[in-house]
Amino acid sequence: MSRQFLAEGLELSGGDQGLVAVVAVVALAALAVGYVLLREVLAAGQGTAKMQDIAKAVQEGAAAYLNRQFRTLGIFVVIVFVLLFLLPAEDIGERIGRSLFFLVGAAFSAAIGYLGMWLSTRANVRVAAAAKEPGGREKAMRIAFRTGGVVGMFTVGLGLFGAALVVLVYTGQAPKVLEGFGFGAALLAMFMRVGGGIFTKAADVGADLVGKVEQGIPEDDPRNAATIADNVGDNVGDCAGMAADLFESYAVTLVASLILGTAAFGAKGLLFPLIVPAIGVLTAVIGVYITSARTGESGLSAINRSFYISAVISAVLCTVAAFVFLPSSFGELKGVEDPEVIATSGSPALIAAIAVIIGIVLAGVILWLTGYFTGTEHKPVKEVGKTSLTGAATVILSGISVGFESAVYTALVIGGAVYGAFLLSGTLVVALFAVALAGCGLLTTVGVIVAMDTFGPVSDNAQGIAEMSGDVDGEGAQILTELDAVGNTTKAITKGIAIATAVLAATALFGSYQDAIKQALEGVTATIPVSFSNVVFSPNVLVGIIIGAAVVFMFSGLAVNAVTRAAGAIVFEVRRQFRENPGIMDGSVKPEYGRVVDICTKDSLRELATPGLLAVLAPIAVGFGLGVGPLAGYLAGAIATGTLMAVFLANSGGAWDNAKKLVEDGNHGGKGSEAHAATVIGDTVGDPFKDTAGPAINPLIKVMNLVSVLIAPAIVTFSVGASESAPLRYAIALVAVAVIVAAVVVSKRRGTAIADSPAETPVSNGAA
């Protein structure tokens, strides 16, 4: 059944519209719960005046960076809005709606990111202050986790409200309009992920290399000029960037589900994907409020327990909803008339229930798997820590090995979930909808997932503020160190879950891409070109697969290289300050924190353009240059390679980070030892892996898929029938290639800046 048929004939009954309205109210209720949690977080004490001064410096730096970033991205958003409006559509209303909701999606993504930054920069000092109080461990953990809960509630609330609003207003045309909504969310999230990732890791790497290795001072020592920038970076990269990233995962998965649901289940398929995340709102509230560490229990165990409880509740409620809302046979579904679907697809209720459960189970398995490979209490990280006794080279090699191995297992688990959902039906359109529903099932836990992710940088910042101020010691300092280690693992877990959602959404969008091509070909009597072939053994499709895989490598390389350049500039600046102001080391002179923040801001905003252009223009170059078949291959190559690359980068970095924590806790010689210096080097290598390139692949995959879905009708128009125009098609492809090449060349030329800088000798006090 084509989407065109549905757009013309699909109508929602009064009861259906009432159901969508209820979903919208649930979404608004999520925002209300988020506000209540926000008030609770802000009501906590803020510690000493010195702690508040440090927190204020971080707040000002983070806000200044995001404001400048939004001004930069505003120009890009306007350009894309115009181009999106010019793309073919069935009527002017659909074209306006798609472009308008592109802006809405971008605005929601930006708002979630800004909220994540704004609140985390205020919660960090409150977590540090709570650690000093009686029962500090439980209080500090509750504040940190509920800070994430605020962002989680706003993520599910805005995502669900946006989707429900589109369905209410556009009904049958909602899937096409939602493509714009998802594209806006994904595009902003990718830019925020890349820009924030470059900022945070440039500051972190620079601070570690000069402070820890050359000067032998602690990570967050106030004498290090990069410490404020490092704490700012945690908020603009991990909080703002990841919050926007998870929001777009939520939005794009909903988009894919609604597009395929209308084709597979008719009107019911447009509504059921809204019911599942509405249930997720309830389970998110439960998950956030029940998270509390018992006496003697690790923070990670408490967080994992609440996640699993909320996951089980989601599975039960979604199963009940499937059997109550959906019929037992396809013949009872309004709008489904395809005899093949009715005869071979089985029970809609059973398919939907199992698909959602597959997604929920997938989230739980990835939580366990990622925790095993990155947690301090498990063998892989302990082994990486042991290799520090033989130097930095073996630390790096062992971390790479952990990343490679974990990527294989994670990819197999995700692949198994996709295949399991696919096997639920004998017809392709229903099977693809089942994959999309698995994504919805996974995201019923997104409120808790966002809370887990934000917990990490808030705890990290809290420890930094405590160390810089010197006002938290003894048991309070130990509590913050423990929470920081837990946060490293939760961040790695959420990155694994995020890439799983990317694969499920991208696989579902693959079906949307094919549907868009079929719709564009309706009524075409001309000979279909060979470029439309999408069988994997066709040479042109294989070329597309290779290009898609190559783009993931290029994107990752650009992101890591951007951190390298920016971090080099930070190293030179911090060294300069130590050299020219000897009083910094004895505490008589205050470092120039603002200079480092300014360098990170300028470099990160300058560097994010090239990866962004690559993500948007590469599918255009392949699609218009080679055809829709190679573009399908391109997407397949990008999804497969992106899955492995993202998990490899995230888990290698997480293992290195926690191996450093193990040594700093007194193992293998402790702080100041040669083993410690080796793990610091490993951690600095892992920083751009786990917090820049790796997580940015998640929105990259979805941006490329959505661009492909949006341009597919135009490619078909220029390739077949009376409107065939090969010169124009190739001209578009050549322009896209030219812009990509120019952007990469300009980026590479920046790479000579460090090499051309005057030779500088590290300033050292003799400590390792």
pLDDT digits (tens, 9 = 90+) for 542-592: 999 999 999 999 999 988 888 888 888 888 888 888 888 888 888 788 888
The residues, any chain, with a CB within 8 Å of residue 211's CB and separated by 6 or more, are 217, 218, 219, 221, 223, 224, 226, 227, 574
Per-residue pLDDT averaged across 283-302, rounded? 82
Residue 381 to residue 372: CA distance in whole angstroms: 9
Tokens 């697969």 belong to which residue? 545
Could you give the CA distance from residue 591 to residue 583 in angstroms, rounded to a whole number?
A: 9
Question: What percentage of the chain reaches a pLDDT higher than 70?
Answer: 91
Q: What is the mean pLDDT of residues 102-108?
A: 90
Total count of domains within the chain: 1
Q: Is residue 84 part of a domain?
A: yes
First and final C-alpha spacing in the chain:
67
Contacts by 422-426 with C-beta closer than 8 Å and gap 24+? 424/346, 424/351, 424/354, 424/355, 425/344, 425/345, 425/346, 425/351, 426/344, 426/345, 426/346
Please report the pLDDT score of residue 33 as a whole number. Answer: 94
763 DSSP assignment: P
Q: Is 762's pLDDT higher than 70?
A: no
Question: DSSP labels for 233-251?
Answer: HIIIIIIIIHHHHHHHHHH
User: Which pLDDT does position 323 carry in this prediction?
Assistant: 93
What predicted TM-score, i.e. pTM, was given to this entire model? 0.84
- C-alpha distances out from residue 160 to 20, 105, 251, 273, Å: 10, 11, 8, 10
pLDDT at 199 over 90: no
pLDDT band at 320 (very low <50, low <70, confident <90, very high): very high
The token pair at 245 is 């990233």
Q: What is the mean pLDDT of residues 74-94?
A: 81
Host domain of residue 15: 3-522+533-755
- 761 lies in some domain: no
Give domain status of residue 388, yes or no.
yes
What is the mean predicted confidence (pLDDT) over 165-194? 82
Q: How far apart are CA 36 and CA 41, in angstroms?
A: 9
C-alpha gyration radius of the chain: 25
**498 pLDDT above the threshold of 60:** yes
470 and 452 in contact (C-beta within 8 Å)? no
- List b or e across 669-707, with b for residues whose CB sees 16 or more CB atoms inside 10 angstroms: eebebebbbbbbbbbbbbbbbbbbbbbbbbbbbbbbbbb
pLDDT value at residue 137: 81
**What span, in angstroms and rounded, lies between the C-alpha atoms of 678 and 662?**
12
**Distance separating alpha carbons of residues 103 and 105, to the nearest angstrom:** 5
pLDDT digits (tens, 9 = 90+) for 223-242: 888 888 887 877 777 777 77
State phi, psi for 266 to the nearest 5 degrees: 70, -140
Residues 6+ away with beta carbon under 8 Å from 467: 218, 219, 220, 221, 477
> Do 639 and 546 touch, CB atoms closer than 8 A?
no
568 Cβ contact list (under 8 Å, min separation 6): 206, 753, 754, 757
Distance (Å, rounded) from C-alpha 699 to C-alpha 611?
Answer: 12
* Whether pLDDT at 304 is above 50: yes
Instruction: Tell me what pLDDT residue 359 has.
Output: 93
Q: Residue 47's pLDDT is what?
A: 85
Q: Where are the alpha helices (DSSP H) in 387-536?
A: 392-422, 428-442, 446-469, 475-521
Q: Give per-residue pLDDT as tens, 603-646.
A: 888 887 888 889 889 999 999 999 888 999 999 999 999 999 99
pLDDT value at 746 more than 80:
yes
pLDDT at residue 144 tops 70 = yes
Q: How far apart are CA 570 and CA 448, in angstroms?
A: 35
Residue 527 lies in a domain: no
User: Does 743 map to a domain?
Assistant: yes
Give the tokens for residue 363: 């989230």
Q: Which residue has the tokens 């994992």?
A: 304
- On the CB side of 362, CA atoms within 13 Å amount to 37
- Is the per-residue pLDDT at 361 higher than 90? yes
| pLDDT value of position 547 | 96
| 202/759: higher pLDDT | 202
Distances (CA, A) of 45 to 127, 132, 147, 715: 9, 11, 14, 58
Residue 44, C-beta contacts closer than 8 angstroms, at least 6 positions apart: 126, 129, 130, 139, 143
Confidence at 754, pLDDT banded by 50, 70, 90: very low
pLDDT band of 765, cuts 50, 70, 90: very low
pLDDT digits (tens, 9 = 90+) for 437-450: 999 998 888 888 88
In this predicted structure, what is the pLDDT of residue 25? 94
What mean pLDDT comes out for the span 662-672?
A: 84
pLDDT for 698 equals 84
pLDDT at 339: 58
Residue 545: the pLDDT is 93
Q: pLDDT-based confidence at 345, cuts 50/70/90?
A: low
Q: How would you class 91 by CB atoms within 10 Å of its CB: exposed for 0-12, middle for 13-18, buried for 19 or more?
A: exposed
Q: What is the reported pLDDT for 755? A: 43
Question: Predicted confidence band at 460 (pLDDT cuts at 50, 70, 90)?
Answer: confident
Q: Is the pLDDT of residue 751 over 60?
A: no
Higher pLDDT among residues 640 and 73, named by residue: 640
> Which of 471, 446, 443, 477 lies closest to 459 in space, CA to CA?
477
pLDDT bracket for residue 254 (50, 70, 90): confident
3-state secondary structure of 140: helix
**pLDDT digits 0-9 by tens, 3-44:** 433 444 456 677 778 888 999 999 999 999 999 999 999 998
Residue 49 within a domain: yes
Question: Could you tell me which residues come within 8 angstroms of residue 275 by beta carbon, excluding any fewer than 6 positions away?
Answer: 19, 23, 321, 325
Residue 353 is predicted with a pLDDT of 94
Closest CA to 464 of 296, 659, 235: 235
Nearest 10 degrees: Cα torsion 542, 548, 551, 555: -150
CA separation, residue 278 to residues 272, 429, 683, 707 (Å)? 10, 24, 39, 28
Residue 358 has pLDDT above 90, yes or no: yes
Question: Does residue 87 sit within a domain?
Answer: yes
* Mean pLDDT computed over 144-150: 90
Q: Residue 763 domain-assigned? A: no
pLDDT band, residue 538 (cuts 50/70/90): confident
Instruction: List the one residue out of 409, 412, 417 whose CA is nearest residue 440.
Output: 417
pLDDT for 767 beyond 50? no
Residue 524 has pLDDT above 80, yes or no: no
The set of residues, in sequence order, having a beta carbon less than 8 Å from that of 758 and lying 6+ positions away, is none
pLDDT-based confidence at residue 342 (cuts at 50, 70, 90): low
Reply yes or no on whether the pLDDT at 60 is more than 80. Answer: yes
Confidence tier at 299 by pLDDT (50, 70, 90)? confident
**Distance from C-alpha of 233 to C-alpha of 236, rounded to nearest angstrom:** 5
Q: Contact, 498 vs 700, CB < 8 A?
A: no
